[in-house]
A and B are shown apart, each in its own frame.
Chain A
Amino acid sequence: MEKTTIPKMLSGFTRGLKRFFLAAILAAAAASLLGFLSPLIVGFTVDSVIGDKASELPGPLMSLFETLSAGGNLSRRLTVCALFIACCALLAAVFNFTSRINMAKGSERMINNLRVRLFTHTQHLPFEWHTKHLTGDIIQRCTSDVETVRRFVFQQLLEVLRTVILVVIAMSIMFSLNVVMALAVTVFIPVILVYTIFFSMRVSKKFRACDEAEGELMVRVQENLTGVRVVRAFGRERYETERFDEKNINYTKMWTSLGGTYGLFWGIGDSVAALQLLTVVVVGSYLAATSSFTFGELVVFLSYSQMLMWPVRQLGRVMSEMSKTGVSLNRIKEILDSPAEKDDPEALRPPMDSDIEFSGVSFTYDEQPVLQNVSFSIKSGSTFGILGATGSGKSTLTYLLNNLYELPEGGGLITIGGVDVSKIEKSYLRKNIGLVLQEPFLFSKTILENIDISSRSRNLDRVREKARIAAVDENIMEFANGYDTIVGERGVTLSGGQKQRVAIARTLMMGAPIMVFDDSMSNLDMETDAKIRESLRSDTEGSTVILISHRISTLMRADTIMVLEDGRIAEIGSHSELVAMDGIYRRVYDLQSGYVTD
């Protein structure tokens, strides 16, 4: 994906929503206009209806007023004025409502687009990206950064527009009424701008520090709770509390310090706003006393400067929010800019029940060589076993086979039926390789939904059949809710062995022609392990099976067994060949079978 700019990114999410934003802006403008009319009428009422000064109302309004109050007495004329104000207010209310609801629809839909896009994108980001990013950090970006953007668009964006509209209209009316007074009010605008820019920079810097401190505190709490058993078993409660205190106090300090900055910022803002009012009162009083400036005009000016006071004060806060939103948008953009997995336009869907071939495969992860020049082939329909020490690169082989990791240029070639796996459509490839992971993840759903997740067949019989093969049906039926038991973080905690067996059943549901078991029975006892393998044999009839295990008993029936050592093939052959070879396999075999006399 090409890199985009923030406006480009945003316009992608607002597609088809422009009408909402446009309606919101127009209605807001209309409401602001009406809001201005009100003080004009008040001024007119005081000056020309109660007093006797010539009217300064715009022509059409004046003639409307004359028509309505033609020949009436003061009470009649006042009634008309009051009605005018009330009508303005009601109309303004209608426009305000229109503006808000359209803004809500526009911004909420936009955020909905953003949320779904982020989720979909993270789903399709390559596996390697996931291993390099902290879950907490990504979640923070997808939730609280998105919330910052939402709040800004929904609450502040219109505020900025309203403020600008207010300032422009107010200024033009004020200038048309009295230039000196208008200038007196205007003087403060550059002042406000300067200190606002200054403070938003400081605030955004401190905000970032606060955010980081919060992140660190969060990580402390999260790690402590996740590792609660370890903490307890080592009696480290006090140590943990001390470490927590450190972050807790730091977090508090950061925010308290930000509070100081905010205090100064808001204090100055309020003072400037009050100073503006003071100027209007003093200059107005002076003018009224020395020139033709009227009391009515002063009232109008006062109303306008009061009206401006709030949005202008607000503008400062909005700007500090804006810089925060910028930070958030950039963090979101970083996720969206990471390239997702993509298929070649000419991706293939070759038959998968064919031979698998690794030729000269080398792979380095984080500067750490994992596989070095590995070549072997697996006959279609055969069973292939892999034995190797911890960290010898067994899992990496399977990740390369189903393209979770991509082979770099010159890193060799992996083919299925002669077709390079990187040329095969990814979803097709993975659907045809049933991989059971070493540490499987179960979703917070029922057991039924978990096993059924790839096919969504809703066929309980089939699910139970597969669960029986995985020797877990009986355990599941013992739960009070059977297959409707919810598992995962929010549900029942399954033991490691139960989890592995549910994962096996889940993968069996895929009915894939290639099956890979990555040490997926390590938490099972030998008996269960043997039981599962026995029933698997008939279920995976005709499939190519790759078994990774530390147990000779698991591997020995395989047609071919490969022994990996430090990323290289040390031995390869059948069980009897390897036992005869007197190498690693033989040593492991001896160790595992020697449990009685040893």
Chain B
Amino acid sequence: MEYEQETTSGLSLKMWLRLVKYFKQMKRQIFPALITVVLTTAAFSAFPLFTRYAVDHFVIPGTTDGLPLFAGAYFAFIVCVGTGDVMWVKLLMAVEMKIGLLIRRDSFVHLQKLQIAYHNVNSVGYLIGRVMSDTERIGGMISWGFSGFIEALLTLVFSITYMLILSPKLALILMIVIPVAGLVAWYFQRKIMVVSRKVRELNSRITGAYNEGITGSKTSKTLVIEDVNSEEFAKLSAKMLRESVRNSRLNAIMMPMVMSLGSIALSILLYRGGILVSREMLDFGVLSAFIAYAVSTIEPIVWVSGIMSEMVSAQVGIERVTGLQGETVTIADSPEVVEKYGDTFEPKVENWEPVLGGVTFDNVTFKYPDGEEYVLEDFSLDIPPGTTVAIVGETGAGKSTIVNLACRFYEPTSGRVLIDGRDSRERSQLWLHSSLGYVLQDPHLFSGTIMENIRYGKLEASDEDVIAAARLVAADTVADRMPEGFGAEVGEGGDKLSTGEKQLISFARAVLADPPIFVLDEATSSIDTETERLIQDAISHMLTGRTSFIIAHRLSTIAHADLILVVEDGRIVERGTHKELLASGGHYSELYKAMRIDGLSPM
């Protein structure tokens, strides 16, 4: 998915039209920038006129009359052009950054709305690439690329116009050379584009390799595969070297070729011009101005073709970014729901009904978007508010599915999930999510302090509230071990803490949120028994009167649940209380016996 091939070749207007909505928002930036670019370019190409004037009026007649005035005018002109230059860079940078700002924000907001299933199959690095570097490429193209294009094109047009006015006959010679040079440049640029795409792809693979090499360094050391990794990397890097040199070789051929075409034009010009001057059909001054133009037309041709090929590659960026923004949000609030309850960003909290915590599965059939088999079929279950539901089963048996559906991280393929008796699709997602306390098996912490991480559960909580929540689940012991206490940094993703410590903090985070529905997905798998025991009472006290889903391997955690669901191969094979299930002699009682065989008999 990550290294998909870029497929477009030629320029496509349709692609660029997708950006129209941003252009509309930026009229105030774009127009002044455009005007500045046109005026400054026009002024720039008028410079040789001054030279010609000087030659005709001072050099040839051999007089200095009016020279100071000329110098003054020239100077004033330079000041104008200089000011234009300053404005140009400033305005264009503003355009580039503003459009980047708008596109990045839209992408980010859309990513916030996209369902979990989308995030599951798209790697973070790939999405970051779209939000950051692809956007940057578009911004750069729209500002510098377009202005360069306009500048180069205008320079060409002005130069050709001046030359036509000066001497149509000589201009004709250049007119023949320019298209030839253009063709050569275009031909090479297209070849270069193909190679540079390869280089870009290799580049992202190299970034990926660094990422993996660094994140996996502990594992690499324990397996003693540092040299294996380095060897593999060296191969990848050598491939990059080959492609880069190929890329440079094409460039190295193209530039001198186009340049020497220009020189050939110059030599023809000189020959024809010399003859014309000797026949007194042409002024010295005209010839010299002409030569200046001949030199200055070659470079813009190279630019134009360069920019055009860059535009094609920026187009790929547009394709990716608009592709991301156009990704369908499969779990979305309906317009009626948004009308009444507001959306994720503008909630209408005043219209929200309080969440009691009743969850009902009504004939739910479900399969994962990328799966082939149905995980649930015609599943019905009524969970009254305040029920503790434990889900038991083998690793990978699909225990999280029920939770994912209840939390509306996924929606049923058919059937309904009801919250407090109403289809959850008739409420906004935020309404439900604001009422969840979710503790995951792989607890994710954000970089920042312990205090900040717990406060994520309730942003307006005071320090005292945070500490109280931490104490309830013994997360304060983590802070106590740190010299900085609650102000201690947890590191990237909570890296500086052990898994057990991270679990305690994410537990405190959920407790602080004080939600009517709790989800504990292996929340204490890495916490030692004594600490678990310590917080057990607090947990059961907290869960009283709230609906909770508990996924756990430790039977001690499960035995007290009001309802136990036993999952096998993605199906619910047993349901009931601890006593009922033991009595029925099914899978659950076998599980229980397995532990007895292990020697830990109940006391």
Contact status A108-B292, CB under 8 Å = no
Report B418-450 CB contacts with A as 1/0, cut-off 8 Å. 000000000001100110101011101011000
Known contacts A97-B252, A223-B447, A489-B212; 8 further A-B pairs (Cβ under 8 A): A115-B206, A119-B229, A136-B492, A262-B93, A285-B67, A443-B216, A453-B228, A496-B441
In the complex, chain B residues 82-100 whose Cβ is within 8 Å of any chain A Cβ: 82-90, 92-94, 96-98, 100
Q: Which residues of chain A have C-beta atoms less than 8 A from B409's C-beta?
A: 229, 232
Report B63-87 CB contacts with A as 1/0, cut-off 8 Å. 1100100110011001101111111
Contact status B89-A437, CB under 8 Å = no
Listed by A's residue number, 13 A-B pairs whose Cβ atoms lie within 8 Å are A97-B253, A105-B245, A115-B206, A241-B112, A266-B89, A270-B85, A274-B47, A284-B54, A298-B59, A392-B528, A438-B526, A439-B442, A592-B554
Of the residues A90, A119, A271, contact of B79 by C-beta under 8 Å: A271
A104-B245 contact given A238-B344, A255-B93, A591-B529, CB 8 Å threshold: yes
Contact status B553-A232, CB under 8 Å = no
Contact status A264-B444, CB under 8 Å = no
- By beta carbon, the residue of chain B nearest A402 is B222
- By beta carbon, the residue of chain B nearest A516 is B222
Of all A-B residue pairs in the complex, the 8 with the closest CB atoms, nearest first, are: A259-B93, A89-B263, A104-B248, A390-B500, A497-B395, A271-B82, A263-B89, A267-B86
Contact status A123-B270, CB under 8 Å = no
Contact status A430-B221, CB under 8 Å = yes
Contact status B295-A306, CB under 8 Å = yes
Q: Which residues of chain B have C-beta atoms less than 8 A from A108's C-beta?
A: 241, 244-245, 248
Contact status A523-B441, CB under 8 Å = yes
- By beta carbon, the residue of chain B nearest A74 is B278
Contact status A390-B528, CB under 8 Å = yes
Q: Which of A42-50, A183-191, A537-545 contacts B (4 or more CB under 8 A)?
A: A42-50
- By beta carbon, the residue of chain A nearest B346 is A238
B287 in the interface (beta carbon within 8 A): yes
Contact status A454-B225, CB under 8 Å = yes
Report B242-258 CB contacts with A as 1/0, cut-off 8 Å. 00110011011101110
Contact status A222-B97, CB under 8 Å = no
Report the minimal beta-carbon distance from A558 to chain B, rounded to whole angstroms. 13
B483 in the interface (beta carbon within 8 A): yes
A574 in the interface (beta carbon within 8 A): no
- By beta carbon, the residue of chain A nearest B287 is A46
A377 in the interface (beta carbon within 8 A): no
Q: Which of A61-69, A76-84, A195-203, A410-418 contacts B (4 or more CB under 8 A)?
A: A76-84
Q: Which of A137-145, A168-176, A320-328 contacts B (4 or more CB under 8 A)?
A: A137-145
Of the residues B83, B100, B127, B492, contact of A135 by C-beta under 8 Å: B492
Contact status A112-B237, CB under 8 Å = yes
Contact status A219-B447, CB under 8 Å = yes
A239-B459 contact given A281-B50, A441-B219, A525-B393, CB 8 Å threshold: yes
Report the minimal beta-carbon distance from A507 to chain B, rounded to whole angstroms. 8
A464 in the interface (beta carbon within 8 A): no
A460 in the interface (beta carbon within 8 A): no
- By beta carbon, the residue of chain A nearest B104 is A248
Contact status B223-A86, CB under 8 Å = no
Complexed CA–CA distance, A476 and B165 (Å): 78
Of the residues B214, B245, B430, B598, contact of A122 by C-beta under 8 Å: B214
Contact status B559-A238, CB under 8 Å = no
Contact status B288-A299, CB under 8 Å = yes
Contact status A390-B93, CB under 8 Å = no
Q: Which residues of chain B have C-beta atoms less than 8 A from A135's C-beta?
A: 211, 214-215, 492
A138-B499 contact given A78-B271, A266-B89, CB 8 Å threshold: no
Complexed CA–CA distance, A285 and B492 (Å): 68
Most buried by A among B90, B434, B442: B90
B527 in the interface (beta carbon within 8 A): yes
Contact status A596-B559, CB under 8 Å = yes
B51 in the interface (beta carbon within 8 A): yes
Q: Which residues of chain A have C-beta atoms less than 8 A from B457's C-beta?
A: 234
In the complex, chain B residues 490-535 whose Cβ is within 8 Å of any chain A Cβ: 492-493, 495-496, 498-501, 504, 506, 509, 513, 519, 522, 525-531, 533
Contact status A263-B88, CB under 8 Å = yes
In the complex, chain B residues 153-212 whose Cβ is within 8 Å of any chain A Cβ: 203, 206-212
Of the residues A46, A234, A496, contact of B284 by C-beta under 8 Å: A46
Contact status A522-B120, CB under 8 Å = no
Of the residues A282, A298, A497, contact of B74 by C-beta under 8 Å: A282
Contact status B556-A591, CB under 8 Å = yes
A29 in the interface (beta carbon within 8 A): no
Report A444-457 CB contacts with B as 1/0, cut-off 8 Å. 10000000011010
Complexed CA–CA distance, A205 and B442 (Å): 41
Contact status B125-A45, CB under 8 Å = no
Most buried by A among B223, B228, B253, B498: B223
Contact status B442-A282, CB under 8 Å = no
Contact status B274-A74, CB under 8 Å = yes
A75 in the interface (beta carbon within 8 A): yes
Q: Which residues of chain A have C-beta atoms less than 8 A from B326's C-beta?
A: none
A409 in the interface (beta carbon within 8 A): no
Contact status A289-B62, CB under 8 Å = yes
A553-B50 contact given A85-B270, A240-B112, CB 8 Å threshold: no
Q: Which of A5-13, A126-134, A350-358 contacts B (4 or more CB under 8 A)?
A: A126-134
Complexed CA–CA distance, A493 and B529 (Å): 29
Contact status B482-A368, CB under 8 Å = yes
Of the residues A45, A139, A219, contact of B211 by C-beta under 8 Å: A139
Complexed CA–CA distance, A143 and B211 (Å): 10
Contact status B62-A594, CB under 8 Å = no
A376 in the interface (beta carbon within 8 A): no
Q: Which residues of chain B have C-beta atoms less than 8 A from A23's C-beta?
A: none
Contact status B292-A130, CB under 8 Å = no
Contact status A590-B603, CB under 8 Å = yes
Most buried by A among B2, B440, B553: B553
Majority secondary structure, B binding face: helix
Contact status B591-A526, CB under 8 Å = yes
A142-B271 contact given A127-B221, A219-B447, A298-B59, CB 8 Å threshold: no
- By beta carbon, the residue of chain A nearest B62 is A289
A82-B528 contact given A143-B206, A295-B60, CB 8 Å threshold: no
Report the minimal beta-carbon distance from B408 to chain A, rounded to whole angstroms. 10
Contact status B2-A115, CB under 8 Å = no
Most buried by B among A262, A289, A367, A556: A289
A263-B211 contact given A127-B217, A232-B409, A587-B530, CB 8 Å threshold: no
Of the residues B64, B125, B597, contact of A285 by C-beta under 8 Å: B64
A72 in the interface (beta carbon within 8 A): no
Most buried by B among A97, A263, A597: A263
Complexed CA–CA distance, A523 and B266 (Å): 77
Complexed CA–CA distance, A468 and B119 (Å): 31
B563 in the interface (beta carbon within 8 A): no
Q: Which residues of chain B have C-beta atoms less than 8 A from A497's C-beta?
A: 395-396
B383 in the interface (beta carbon within 8 A): no
In the complex, chain B residues 221-238 whose Cβ is within 8 Å of any chain A Cβ: 221-230, 233-234, 237-238
A493-B456 contact given A86-B264, A550-B526, CB 8 Å threshold: no
Of the residues B220, B393, B522, B529, contact of A523 by C-beta under 8 Å: B522
Contact status B222-A404, CB under 8 Å = yes
Contact status B108-A593, CB under 8 Å = no
Report the minimal beta-carbon distance from B276 to chain A, rounded to whole angstroms. 10
Complexed CA–CA distance, A145 and B107 (Å): 27
Most buried by A among B67, B92, B214, B597: B214
B576 in the interface (beta carbon within 8 A): no
Contact status B602-A595, CB under 8 Å = yes
Q: Which residues of chain A have C-beta atoms less than 8 A from B51's C-beta?
A: 277, 281, 302
B14 in the interface (beta carbon within 8 A): no
A466 in the interface (beta carbon within 8 A): no
Contact status B256-A101, CB under 8 Å = no
Contact status B86-A552, CB under 8 Å = no
Contact status B288-A285, CB under 8 Å = no
Contact status A592-B556, CB under 8 Å = yes
Contact status B249-A525, CB under 8 Å = no
A109 in the interface (beta carbon within 8 A): yes
Contact status A89-B217, CB under 8 Å = no
